Structure 1
Amino acid sequence: MDKNEVCVVMVPFIAQGHLNQLLHLSRLISAYDLPVHFVCATTYSRQAKLRIHGWDPLSDSNIHFHEFLVPSFPNPPPNPNAAIRFPAHLMPSFKAVMHLRDPFAKLLSDLSITTKRIVIIHDYLMSSVVQDFVTVPTAEVYMFQSCSAFCAFWYHWEVTQTLSLDAETESIWKKVPSLEGCFTDEFLELMDSEDSSFKKISSGTLYDTSKVLEEKFLELLKIEEISGTSKNWAIGPFNPVGFTERKDSGTESNRLLINWLDKQKANSVIYVSFGTTVSFTDEEAKEIAIGLEESGQKFIWVVRDADKGNIFAGEDRRIELPEGYEERIERRGVGVVVRGWAPQIEILGHPSTGGFMSHCGWNSSMEAISMGIPIAAWPMHADQPRNATLITELLGTGIYAREWARRDEKVAASMVAEAVRRLMVSEEGCGIRKKAAELGGVVRRSVEDGGVMRKELDAFVAEITRP
Structure 2
Amino acid sequence: MANKPCLYFFPVYAAGHLISMIEFAKRLSTFDNSLSIHFLLMLPEDPSHNSPLCSSYLQSLQAQNTPFQFHPLPFVEPPTSFDGIEEFLSLKATYYMPHVKAELLASPSPVSGLFVDFFANDVIDVANELNIPSYVFYTSPATSFALFSHLSNQEQENDPKEFSEAGEICVPGLVPIPSTCWPDVFWNRKSRSYKSLMNFVRLCSKAKAVVVNSNIYLEKAAVEALTEGTQLIPGQKLYPIGPVLSLRESNSKDHECLKWLDGQPMKSVVFLCFGNRGAFDVSQNREIARALEQSGHRFLWVVRTASKNLLRELTNGNLDEVLPRGFLEKTKERGLVWPSLVPQIEILSHKAIGGFVTHCGWNSTMEGLWFGVPMVPWPHGAEQHLNAFHLVKELQVAVDMEIDRKSEGFVSATELERAIKCLMDEGSEERRRVREKAEEIKLACRKAVEVGGVSYAHMQKLSEELGMQKGHSQST
TM-score relative to the length of structure 1: 0.83
Partner Cα distance (2:58, 2:442) in 1: 18
Is the aligned partner of 1:148 residue 2:117? no
Within the candidate set 205, 213, 222, 2:218 is matched to 213
> After superposition, where does 1:22-101 map in structure 2 within 5 Å?
22-32=21-31, 33=33, 34-43=35-44, 47=52, 49-50=54-55, 52=57, 56=61, 58-73=63-78, 88=84, 95-101=91-97
Structure 2 counterpart of 1:121, from 96, 109, 115: 115
Counterpart of 2:208 in structure 1 is 203
From 180, 184, 188, give the equivalent of 1:181.
184
In the TM superposition, what is the alpha-carbon distance from 1:159 to its structure 2 partner? 4.5
User: Residues 316 and 339 of structure 2 are in contact (CA less than 8 Å); yes or no, is this contact kept in structure 1?
Assistant: no
* Separation in structure 2 between the aligned mates of residue 48 and residue 119 of structure 1, nearest angstrom: 27
Match of 1:370 in 2: 370
Indicate the residue corresponding to 2:259 in structure 1: 259
Deviation of residue 230 (structure 1)? 3.4
Residues 358, 375 of structure 1: 8 Å contact kept: yes
Aligned to 2:349: 349
- Report deviation, 1:421: 0.8
Which stretch shifts more, 87-96 or 412-421?
87-96
* Mapped pair 1:238 → 2:244: yes
Correspondence 1:106 to 2:102:
yes
* 1:15 CA displacement: 3.5
Shift of 1:249: 0.4
Task: String of CA shifts for 1:437-463, please: whole Å, max 9, x gaps.
Answer: 121022112222222222221121111
Matches within 5 A, 1:234-383: 234-240=240-246, 246-249=249-252, 255-306=255-306, 308-309=308-309, 318=318, 320-324=321-325, 327-328=328-329, 331-332=332-333, 334-383=334-383
What is residue 197 of structure 2 aligned with on the other side?
Answer: 191
Question: Secondary structure of 2:376's match?
Answer: strand
CA RMSD between the two structures: 3.5
The whole-number CA distance in structure 1 between the counterparts of 2:313 and 2:288 is: 28
Contact 1:43 1:310 in 2 (8 A): no
Task: Give yes or no for contact 1:270–1:299 (8 Å, CA) kept in 2.
Answer: yes
Q: 1:136 aligns with which of 130, 133, 137?
A: 130
Q: What do residues 368-420 of structure 1 show as CA deviations (whole Å, max 9, x unaligned)?
A: 11111111011222211111111111111111123576766743211111111
Residues in 2 aligned to 1:259 and 1:203: alpha-carbon distance in whole angstroms: 48
2: distance between equivalents of 1:314 and 1:411? 21
Deviation at 1:204, TM superposition (A): 0.6
Inter-partner Cα distance in structure 2 for 1:372 and 1:42: 35
Shift of 1:144: 1.7
For residues 330 and 419 of structure 1, what CA distance do their matches in structure 2 show?
A: 19
Q: Which amino acid aligns with 1:191?
A: L
Partner Cα distance (1:430, 1:355) in 2: 12
2:41 is paired with a residue whose SS is strand
List runs of 5+ in structure 1 lacking aligned partners.
Answer: 77-86
Partners of 1:171 and 1:314 in 2: CA distance: 35
Q: Which residue of structure 2 aligns with residue 447 of structure 1?
A: 449
SS in 1 for 2:267: coil
User: In structure 2, what is the Cα distance between the partners aligned to 1:51 and 1:219?
Assistant: 37
Matched residues, number: 441
Per-residue deviation, residues 324-350 of structure 1 (Å, max 9, x unmatched): 556426732x22222111111111111
For 1:276 and 1:313, the matched residues in 2 are separated by 6
Pairing of 1:155-170 with structure 2 (within 5 A): 155-160=148-153
Question: Shift in Å at residue 174 of structure 1?
Answer: 5.1
Cα offsets for 1:345-371 (capped at 9, x unmatched): 111111111111111111111111111
Q: Deviations over 1:217-249 (max 9, x none)?
A: 2221133566663311111111045x7xx5240
| 1:230 to 1:127, Cα distance in 2 relative to 1, 3 A | closer
8 Å Cα contact 1:12/1:18 also seen in 2: yes
8 Å contact 1:29–1:36 — kept in the other structure? no
CA distance in 2, matches of 1:312, 1:149: 25
Q: Is the 8 A contact 1:360 1:378 kept in 2?
A: yes
DSSP 3-state at the match of 1:10: strand
Tell me the distance in 2 between the aligned counterparts of 1:168 and 1:43.
36
SS for the counterpart of 2:381 is coil
2:20 counterpart residue number: 21
Residue 24 of structure 1 deviates from its aligned partner by: 2.0
Distance 1:172 1:258 in 2: 40
8 Å CA contact 1:269–1:354 kept in 2: the answer is yes
Separation of aligned partners in 2, 1:438 and 1:121:
32
Maintained 8 Å contact 1:74/1:92: yes
State the Cα distance separating 1:149 from its structure 2 match.
Answer: 0.9
**2:130 aligned partner, one-letter code:** V
More displaced 10-residue stretch of structure 1: 179-188 or 24-33: 179-188
